[in-house]
Every structure is written in structure tokens, then in C-alpha cells.
Chains A and B, each alone.
Chain A
Amino acid sequence: MKTATLNKSDIGKCIDLLVQADLRVIAPRLQPQLDEDGPDSIDVLTFTEVKSGDDHQVGEGLLPLNGVKEFLFAKHEPLFAYEKRGKKIEIIPVHHEYPQTVIIGVRPCDAASIASLESVFSDANAGFEDPFFTERRSRTTFITYSCTAPDSSCFCTSVNLSPDSAKGSDLHLTEIGDGRLHVEVITKAGEAVAKQLQDLLEGEGDRGAREKAGAEVTEKLTRIRDSAPIMDWLMDTANFDDEMWQRLGEKCIGCGACTFVCPTCHCFDIVDENKGSKGYRVKFWDSCQFDHFTLHASGHNPRDWQYKRYRNRFNCKFKIYPEKFETPGCVGCGRCIRACPVNLDITEYMAEVAHKAANPNAMKADPDFE
């Protein structure tokens, strides 16, 4: 693997070089949210397009609010347009602007989530390829940046990742002290970007310093759970009716915030947005936490209680993704914990499951409880 070093202060110059090379560059940036000039305005770290190297927060703060999911799997996108002409319908294709893109400053957890989304949207999933996702994916290069200061919600080490993991990365940067970055070229796409930046890259990297820096940051993580027994415990369908689901899930208010900030949540809805005789068929983010998500036309709802909907989310992360798609369902970014308005905590479930797996006779569900 090719390595090099880069001055941290040169990241702005890197962005300028990439912009000059006619690439769209997306980077973490403090972006005013809500009412931009008004009294409620608040700056939030957000992945957004940057036009110059003066204006970015790569390597600062922790996780941008939005993650990289929305760039590959659009929040809202027309699939095609249609127009009614008497008894006939004409289908008109749509063209989505998506130039060759580099996303810089992606944290390892977000980078690891890309393979998970790809396993859902690529043709590896039952032979159906979502071209909107796969074409965006093929036009996007990820420059990742090892974490330096995990917060109390981070738990990547509990799901077999680490704050310096290069999984899903094309070009990986790690701070090694003295304002220097260790640069690793991971993929061909990463090599192409490295070529654009070659005037700023120097000699060889320092693998020893990079490993040391990674280990030091890993030490800082405080939220550590054992996810190893979870999959086996979930595979036992009797545990699907465990008392834990209702006890812990009762406070969930079904707002869906966790699913919208989650880098691996992939559920969507398809509707027609119609105006007169024309319109678009649109695909947009949906959430398994909403009560109508699985509601049948007959009125029957397989997930008729909120705790069942949360149970589905937990199963999706720790059983469905690994079992069906063979990719991780949870990357430990902690966004769902930070976003939840009622402090519902996925790691609380993880700890509870680990406890139940270790003590199989602890507390059983009451069979008469309905």
C-alpha cells in the first residue's frame, strides 16, 4: 500500500486542487441551520459542497449531522416523469446532476456504512440494481479521516470497527502529531485523487506513528458493549417475544429520528407527485418507526405497537443486515443516541441482550402477557 505524509494545514490546498480538477468536493462545514439570519440560527457541522479550501472543517469536530448517506441515496428523487395524454401515458426519463465527486473528511464509521448500503442497492441483492445508488457510488471517492476525539455516544469498537479504521475508504488520513497526517492509498480511486494532490504529498508515511495514534484514540472510547453474542441470541426466534422488547421500547415515541440520521438505514417509500396531467414518481426516505409503514390495506398491522417497530430496527441492525446482506447493520456512530428525544439507547439493548445471552434463565416472557 502506498503511503505519504501531508501537512494538516494543506487540506485547504487539497480542496482547491480538487475543485480546480473539475471535481465536486463535499466536506464537513459549519452551516447555519434553521432560520439562517434569525435569532434561532445555529451553526451545525454538515457535509456540504465547498467551492474553496478556505471554507471547511475537515478533521474538526466529530460527526457531521447528515453523514454521507444522502449523497448516494437521495432523500428525495424523481425516478421518472409521466404525462397523461387521453388514454395514453408517456414516460419521460429524468436526469440527475451528479458530477464526479470527492467527499473529504469522512469518519471511519460513515465510510464503513457505504458497503452496507451497497449490499442493499446493488444487484448482489436478488439481482436488482438501483442505478441511482450504484452510479452515484461509482462517481464518488471517499477521503476518510481517523477520529481524534470520540464522544460519549461513540461505540464503533463494540461493532468491530475502530476510530482509525480504513474500511470503505479510498484515501485514508490519520493525524500523527506535529500537524502532520499519515496518508494511505487504499483503492484505485484513492490513487487517482492522490495523483491530483501529489505536489502536497511528501515521501513515505509513518505507519508506526499512525498505529500508535489509532490505539491512543481507541483508548478514549468509553461506551463499550459486547456485540458478539447478539446475533446468536437474535437467531433464536423464541427471543423475538422476550419481555425486554416491550420493557425497553415502551418509551419510544416513533419519531423516526434515529432512522433518518442512521448511516445504514435504507427504507424508502415510492409515491406519485402529481400536478394536473403530469408528475413524477418519487422515491424518498421512509422509516420503519412509523405506524403506517407496514399497515396492510385490510387494516391489519404486523407491527401494531411501537416497541415492535423498535424491535424491528434492532433486528435489522444486528440480524437482518449480517444474515441477509452479509454486511454490518450498525457502525457504532452513535447518531441515533444523540438524536433520540427520549434517550432511547441502542447500546442499552446491546448490553441487555449480552446479559440475557450470558444468563439464559434470568427473566422469561410471561406467555399470558398480551
Chain B
Amino acid sequence: MIYHVSPTGVSLKDETNNKGITSVSNIYQPDLMTITKVIQEAPGIKTFHLQFQDENVAKNFSFQTGQFGEYSAFGAGESTFCIASSPTRPDHIECCFRETGKNTAALANLTEGDTIGFRGPYGNTFPLDDWKGKNLIFIGGGIALPPLRSVIWNCLDLREQDGRFEHISVIYGAKTVQDLVYKRELEEWDQMDNVTMVKTVDPGGETEDWDGHVGFVPHVLENEVKPDPENTIAIVCGPPIMIKFTFEALERLGFKQDQMVTTMENRMKCGIGKCGRCNIGSVYVCIDGPVFTATELAALPNDF
């Protein structure tokens, strides 16, 4: 069955003709995925585990860390999230999102077994090959941990295989203790050898039994963690204002611009360089990003 669209209206017909365009498998059509697990990470924040319904799609799907997708709740629309799981764990993909608008609210209403749409993977990736033999420090704020979590697990798994990275640190902050996401995994990383896990919450967000830091991420980074820039790459993700202050703190600590990497989260619709809204100057975040070094960002106009 197929819907025929013409100036006079829409009709449902059995077949197509050669006097038009049929939309089979066009670039805007998502693949269907089943939600296999839902985790409430924090108030208003959920993780979905997702599996492709079509076996062929599942078999041919691969992605690299840093890439993103367009996730749809049918009837509401599409939202852009990074793939939050690591390509080293290809059994399913994960996304993690906060309920903020129409589509994220519709997604949040879905439960295990429900179907969502997925288009992707899109965009560039974190340059893991350039990081061999280096220390890595991941710095994230709030709902910006999911994109970092993909690359953190990717790096931890690869280091376990062949020791290709040196020390790994994670500095993660949220408004309050309850707003921290992936709480189990924060504990898990804390227990691992050769991993430094630093948690912080904004002043006033701590609880009585809070054992982490209190203060904004850039402040904790600069005054308490004080990482050594020698042979180190800093990977930063957060709201634009947090990225700005974190880059400044890193520069004061002696980090060079090409030692600082971030992933941008501009508003997108198509995700494939057509709809025209994620650009910063001539750079399209969906095609040329979302991963940028501070050197690349510094060359862009002040439009993000």
C-alpha cells in the first residue's frame, strides 16, 4: 500500500506509477528500533537501550564514538542525541536524554518494547588514533556526560585490550547530587585502576553524605584537580558557557588549543547538511562536526 500525494489530495493505492517520485528508503526515513530497556538516570533523564528490528539493518550497522543520530517518537518528531554507548559494545545502542520539549516528552512516555525511529550514525568522530600513548581527561557537565560516556568506555575497553592510552581521568559535575547521570558507572570508574574519578556538584546541590567536590566544573578543574598538560588530551562537553570557561581554565593550566577537544550540540533537523540550521560560519556541525578541537573552534566566527 502506498499514499499518493497530488495537488488534489492524498489517496491510498496499491501500486506506484512512473509519473512521480516514490519515497522508498529515502535519507529522511528512519530505521525502526525496539526499546529493550529503560533506565531512569535522574529526575527527567532517561536512558534507552535500543535494538534494530530489521536483522539486516542490525548486521550492517556500525558507528564510531562521537557520532550522533536522529531519534523519533512517531507523532511528535525527531531529536538529535549522541550515541551514548561505546562501539566496543555493539550488542545494542544507547541514548540518554532529558525531557525538555515535545519530542523528548513523547520519547519519555515510551516503555520497554515500544518502537522508535533512528537515523544515523551521522557526523565525525573522536580522533582516538591521535590519542595513543597519551593521558586522557574527560570533563563534562550535567546532561553532557552521555556523549563523553561513549568515548570513555571506548577508551577504557581499548586500553584493556592493548594498553594504548595512559591515565584516564573523568571530571563530572551536575547541579545537584540527584542530577548526576550514570551513577552506577561513576562508582565503577572510581574503582578501576589507573582511572581518576572526580565528581562535583554546584554549590547548594550537595547532600549530607556527599563525598565529592562542591563547585562548578571549571573551578574544580583549575583549583583542585590541576591536571598536568604534559602528554594529555582534554575532552570537554557541556553547555556553551561551560565549554568556554573550561577551555579558559585549561589554557591557564598550560594546555595548548590542539590538546583540547569538544563536541558541539547545535540544533539540528536533518543531521545531513541540508536543513541549514547547525552552521557556524561555513562549518556545518552535522557534517564537519560534532567533534572539534579548540584550534578549529577558534578559527570559527563567534556564532555558537
Contact = CB atoms under 8 A, between A and B. Distances in A.
Contacts of A229: none
Given A97-B4, A237-B299, A288 B277 contact: yes
Contacts of B6: 96-97
A281 interface: yes
A297 B282 contact: no
B7 A97 contact: yes
Interface in B276-304: 276-282, 284, 287, 299-304
B45 to A, nearest CB: 12
Given A87-B114, A297-B100, A132 B23 contact: yes
A324 B5 CA distance: 34
B99 to A, nearest CB: 10
A93 B20 contact: no
A95 B274 contact: no
A25 B275 CA distance: 29
A308 B303 contact: yes
A187 interface: no
Interface in B229-288: 239-241, 265-267, 269-270, 272-282, 284, 287
B20 A89 contact: no
Nearest to B22: A95
Given A126-B287, A131-B26, A240-B302, A94 B274 contact: no
Interface in A265-313: 266-272, 274, 279-281, 283, 286, 288, 293-298, 300, 302-303, 308, 312
A241 interface: yes
A334 interface: no
A280 B267 CA distance: 22
Contacts of B299: 237
The listed residue with most B CB atoms (<10 A of its CB), out of A126, A280, A286, A297, is A297
A282 B13 CA distance: 20
Contacts of B7: 97
A294 B284 CA distance: 13
Given A94-B3, A294-B266, A129 B27 contact: yes
Interface of B: 1-7, 10, 13, 16-17, 19-24, 26-30, 32, 72, 74-79, 98, 100-101, 104, 113-115, 117, 239-241, 265-267, 269-270, 272-282, 284, 287, 299-304
15 contacts: A80-B26, A87-B114, A95-B20, A99-B19, A125-B287, A130-B27, A237-B300, A268-B275, A270-B78, A293-B277, A297-B101, A297-B267, A300-B239, A302-B280, A316-B276
Interface of A: 77-82, 84, 87-89, 91-100, 120-121, 125-126, 128-132, 135-136, 237, 240-241, 266-272, 274, 279-281, 283, 286, 288, 293-298, 300, 302-303, 308, 312, 315-316, 319-320, 323-324
